Amino acid sequence: MTTAADIMHSGARWIPAHETLDRAAQLMRELNVGALPISDENERLCGILTDRDIVVGCVAMGHDPAKVTAGEMAKGTPRWIDAGADIAEVLHEMQDHQIRRLPVIKDKKLVGMISEADLAMHLNDDQIAAWVESVYAKS
């Protein structure tokens, strides 16, 4: 059985909710990623911040990314998957919620992220096609 832990990109890092968006952008650059899970003061997932959120939700709105926090950008209920979840569960979670990145949690700690690139490397063509259709066609 292929699990979330088998296909995830390990080494994912939180951005604390109190950190500013300019710091989040710097961390994204350092890690070469386009999204960061946001953690609350108890290191629990409270959202996901994307590079697009920073540009469209902050900069394009005329706000200063040095004054807006990651927590202020967190919206909705964050989705995640347990490290031991089967690949079918991963696909179901991402398809049902039309999400392109999924934090992987083990023992209440962030252990990785699953992105489109991870799926492309581990799924067969039919699985990828079904995922793309369900996530992008409904967008």
Residue identified by tokens 């990109």 is: 9
The predicted pLDDT at position 129 comes to 87
Q: What is the mean pLDDT of the chain?
A: 92
3-state secondary structure of 3: strand
The predicted pLDDT at position 56 comes to 95
> Any residues with CB less than 8 A from the CB of 124 and at least 6 apart, and which?
none
Domains detected in the chain: 4-137 (3.10.580.10)
pLDDT tens for 52-98 read 999 999 999 999 999 999 999 988 788 999 999 999 999 999 999 98
Q: Which of the four pLDDT bands, split at 50, 70 and 90, describes residue 135?
A: confident
For the residues 111-129, what does the mean pLDDT come to? 90
Q: Are 121 and 115 in contact (CB under 8 A)?
A: no
Cα–Cα distance measured from residue 25 to residue 6, given in angstroms and rounded to the nearest whole number: 28
Other beta carbons within 10 Å of 88: 11
The predicted pLDDT at position 124 comes to 87
The predicted pLDDT at position 138 comes to 59
For the residues 107-136, what does the mean pLDDT come to? 88
Count of CA atoms in the C-beta half-sphere (13 A) of 123: 22
The predicted pLDDT at position 77 comes to 83
The predicted pLDDT at position 70 comes to 97
pTM here is 0.87
Which residues in 14-134 belong to E strands, given as ranges?
A: 15-16, 35-39, 45-50, 81-82, 101-106, 109-115
User: Quick one: DSSP state of residue 118?
Assistant: H
Q: Answer yes or no: is pLDDT of 127 > 90.
A: no
